[in-house]
Structure 1
Amino acid sequence: AQEGKLIEVRSANLLNVRTISDQEVRELIGNVHLVQIEPGEIIRIWCDSARQFVATNKVELFGHVRITRDGVTVTAPEGVYFGDERRAAFTKSVRLEKGAMTLTSAFGEYFADEKKAIFVHDVTVVDSVSSTKSNALTYFDTEEKSIAVGDVSVTSSENNVTVYGDSLVHFAKRAYTIVPKNPRLVQIDTSEGGIIDTLVVMADVMEAYRDTVHRFVAKGNVAMARNDFVARCGEAVYLMKRERIGLRDQPVVWHRENQVTGDSIAVTLFEKRLRSIYVKGRAMAVSRSDSLFRNRFDQLTGRELTMYFAGNKLERVEAERNAVSLYYLFEDQTPNGMNRSSGDRIAIEFQEGKAGRIKVVGGVEGRFFPEPMIAKRESHYNLDGFRWIEARPKRSNLHVIREAHD
């Protein structure tokens, strides 16, 4: 054994000394207490019985094994402690505790010098706000950093949010987590009618900041869906406690038959139900005017646009600054021309999803296009920036099947 790394026996009810393969072996039975003293710290070991190999400075530990060092406690039914390496290995039901954090797994190793632990198979980490599961996990004590790999899931009991991924890195001191590959966020909620309503978010990378607003940041090929709300963009920020979702980098939002685009989009919820959608920069709202006339789209543009909802239904849309509207007219389901209006501000009220009263304020201009002029030429009259995106994300494709991660 290396000098200064000897394992000392502090207590045992019974001591037997034997020679096995020319090596002195001490058998310790009953209330075993061992220590290894290093400059500045002491590793303490307790167990029911132990077998100490003096020459190799190794101890086999049996029954109610407990090892403590600097606020970290590791327990298991049995294990082996290697004194020269200051390493403990466990092959059954290992448990590590530090403060409010508890980590359990089938197998584990603890490295005292590196202040590192490696856990494999059925790994679970529970702290005051979340539970993490994975196939394997490496924990760095000094940094309070965890790296989990293999069918990873993190569940927050406070807000019913679970994030899945191939792997994650968690920094406890910074309250920051990153899922760098195949992340999925799932938030399960129950609507007023008792129906399960689930928010699903997918992206290339996902980050979580456990700050005052509980921020989730999704980056790269972001797609999300909840009830009648669907969106995609390059980057999304979900402020959970403020019930606000910010979308940027070519964002698109769909709500039922309505499509919204712009430079940036802010979605506001109230009690987890859609309250408003605010669009800034090249804002445009589009909806199919009639299912029988698939080339006719009602359109509204402006530098800013806000959609207001009640009971998950669209009530009003307001466009401001260079506002322009284009709406098709029907009489008893028979097409009857089109109106185009512009002004400083345009407000449109909706009833049962259909546009009703339209109010134009400031610098008002309007023109009616009779049916013979626009028939089969609808695309020529679309507003600047018009695009109708058929390939909207489907929640069935985003939804995570839990069994795939169990």
Structure 2
Amino acid sequence: MKLSVVINLLFLFLSLFSSAQESKIKILHSNQTYADQELYPDALILNGEVRVKHEGAIMTCKKALYYKVQNRLYAYGDVYVNQGDTIKQYSNHLQYDGDSKKALSWGQVRVKDKDMTLTTDTLRFDRSTQVLSYHCFGKIVTDKNILTSQVGKYFAKDKKLTAKQNVKLVNPDMTLKTGHLDYNTNSGRSYLYGPSTIKNEDSDLYTERGIYNTKLSLGYLLSNSVIYHQNNEIRGDSLYYNQSDDFASGSGNIVITDTVNKIVVKGDYGEIYRKIDSMIVTKRPLAISIVEKDSMYIHGDTISITGSENKKLMRVYHHVKFFKSDLSGKCDSLVTRQAEGITELFNNPVLWSDKNQITGDSIRLISDKTTQKLDSLKILKNAFIVNQDSIEGYNQINGRNMFGKFKDQRLSTLLVKGNGAVVNYARSEDTKDLTAIMKMECSNIIFSLENNNIKTIRFLKQPAGKTYPPSEFPEDQALLKGFIWRGNERPLTKEDIFIHD
């Protein structure tokens, strides 16, 4: 055999021998060392101020049994393990295997490193992977956080903890409960799996999968999530929460509910700024004003609601449509002032109340602030009301401005001020036969209505025009100036408000 081969084999043997020696548990000190083959076969008994060493870790205790062949140690009483500048461990008992570098500790176990303190009754520690685990309840304290769980595993190298069963994480700002959590002690990030709740001073969060940063109080809620705040809640496929800024946002099937003001806002993206009592929802937004048995549905490109309780200001702009069983409409922008009970429609608005089509440069609806039912109406500039007659044509009223009063959600009186004109198809009350057609002009006119039909007309100044027998009515007088029939734009269901003409 060549000399070089022999030398290499010798070095390999020495290396393996050295490694084997290093892996052996070494006794550094004990006040008394002896053997008792009857009580402890194959064991060396160490008693009093015991001190041993294994691969960079020093262990002290009151008493120990050392099995040299098996390279195993059993320690009792004030057991302390010091793994250099990493982990320090205290317990009443310890069982340690030098070959596998696995330890089992029990009895008032306490583990410390620079980032956390772990206490439990029974702990397993794998020194080769630096993983500690418990299955009989444990508590971990890190910075301001206290985490408890029935089952836990701490990865010392990564500063990461996995906790399961009755997990609770508490700090001065919040309380988190879940069934499964992965927690990073450096970043403060908690990864939540399964039903989880987070409670802080003024909000409650629920999610079935999410991330919560305990240091920054930031939450990313990713599955079946809800944020509760006083009398409001926000739901969505994905929610973001910032406690310090009092801000929340969400995307995918957002539902924001204001239980006090009875408003629900839906959409595919939304933001809430609680410090200024503000929310904005985009991407197919829908606002639902909840009224007993008959709610109002409003849609536009963007819905914004600001203001404190009972003083909400709602703005809906671009491609606005709304629907209620007895009232629907369309405009480019809409503003509702809750404290005043006023809703205004701007930019080519049209309103349908039962059979009536109402248009003007702007339309203002005023509700009773107590009953929240429609009380009155203002149509400003180029006011026009059209009611399609069942057979012959269109009943029409126009003027500069109009002011109406509602009774039981229907127009009951109407005042036309300035440049008033009317075309009315009169029918008998019994047979509903057409009896006359009126075409009149007067600066100011008062109408009384019943079941959306004109009952009486009172001209406040001398009118111009006449009433014709049906056969003599000139066809070129049938439509007033500015007449446009927009019945094909009318939303007939709440689903229709999402149709852009």
TM-score range, shorter chain: 0.7 to 0.9
Alpha-carbon distance in structure 1 between the residues aligned to 2:162 and 2:427: 86
The one of 316, 325, 334 aligned to 1:227: 325
Q: Does 1:247 align with 2:345?
A: yes
The one of 285, 289, 300 aligned to 2:385: 285
Per the alignment, residue 360 of structure 1 pairs with: 459
1:200 maps to amino acid: Y
Q: Does 1:156 align with 2:254?
A: no
Q: Equivalences for 1:309-388 in 2 at 5 Å?
A: 309-330=406-427, 333-334=433-434, 336-343=436-443, 345-362=444-461, 364-368=462-466, 370-371=468-469, 374-375=473-474, 377-378=475-476, 380-388=477-485
Deviations 1:252-295 (A, max 9, x none): 1111111111111111223233221111122112222x3110xx
Per the alignment, residue 76 of structure 2 pairs with: none
Per the alignment, residue 486 of structure 2 pairs with: 389
Alpha-carbon distance in structure 2 between the residues aligned to 1:257 and 1:63: 62
Q: CA deviation at 1:30?
A: 5.6
Change (3 A) 1:12 1:325: same
Q: Does 1:7 align with 2:151?
A: no
Per the alignment, residue 277 of structure 2 pairs with: 175
Change (3 A) 1:7 1:46: farther
Q: CA deviation at 1:299?
A: 2.2
Q: CA deviation at 1:303?
A: 2.4
User: Larger strand proportion, structure 1 or 2?
Assistant: 1
Deviations 1:126-170 (A, max 9, x none): 222122221111112222211212222122323443222112111
Per the alignment, residue 96 of structure 1 pairs with: 198
Query: Is contact 2:153–2:163 with CA below 8 Å preserved after alignment?
Result: yes
Query: Is contact 1:154–1:163 with CA below 8 Å preserved after alignment?
Result: yes
Query: Is contact 1:327–1:339 with CA below 8 Å preserved after alignment?
Result: yes
Q: What SS is found at the alignment partner of 2:130?
A: strand
Per the alignment, residue 261 of structure 1 pairs with: 359
Q: CA deviation at 1:103?
A: 0.9
Unaligned runs of 5+ in 2: 1-84, 87-112
Change (3 A) 1:305 1:177: same
Q: CA deviation at 1:396?
A: 4.7
2:440 maps to amino acid: R
Q: Does 1:19 align with 2:126?
A: yes
Change (3 A) 1:225 1:70: same
Q: What SS is found at the alignment partner of 2:250?
A: strand
Percent pairwise identity:
17
Per the alignment, residue 403 of structure 1 pairs with: none
The one of 204, 207, 211 aligned to 1:109: 211
1:236 maps to amino acid: L
Query: Is contact 1:6–1:36 with CA below 8 Å preserved after alignment?
Result: no
2:133 maps to amino acid: E
Alpha-carbon distance in structure 1 between the residues aligned to 2:283 and 2:253: 11
Query: Is contact 2:422–2:438 with CA below 8 Å preserved after alignment?
Result: no
The one of 274, 297, 306 aligned to 1:200: 297
Q: Does 1:141 align with 2:247?
A: no
Query: Is contact 1:201–1:398 with CA below 8 Å preserved after alignment?
Result: no
Alpha-carbon distance in structure 1 between the residues aligned to 2:300 and 2:491: 12
| Pair member with larger Rg | 2
Q: What SS is found at the alignment partner of 1:223?
A: strand
Query: Is contact 1:330–1:337 with CA below 8 Å preserved after alignment?
Result: no
Q: CA deviation at 1:248?
A: 1.1
1:197 maps to amino acid: D
Per the alignment, residue 10 of structure 2 pairs with: none
- Equivalent pairs counted in the alignment come to 380
Q: CA RMSD in A?
A: 2.7
Change (3 A) 1:354 1:223: same
Query: Is contact 1:326–1:341 with CA below 8 Å preserved after alignment?
Result: no
Alpha-carbon distance in structure 2 between the residues aligned to 1:8 and 1:153: 40
2:222 maps to amino acid: V
Query: Is contact 1:80–1:88 with CA below 8 Å preserved after alignment?
Result: yes
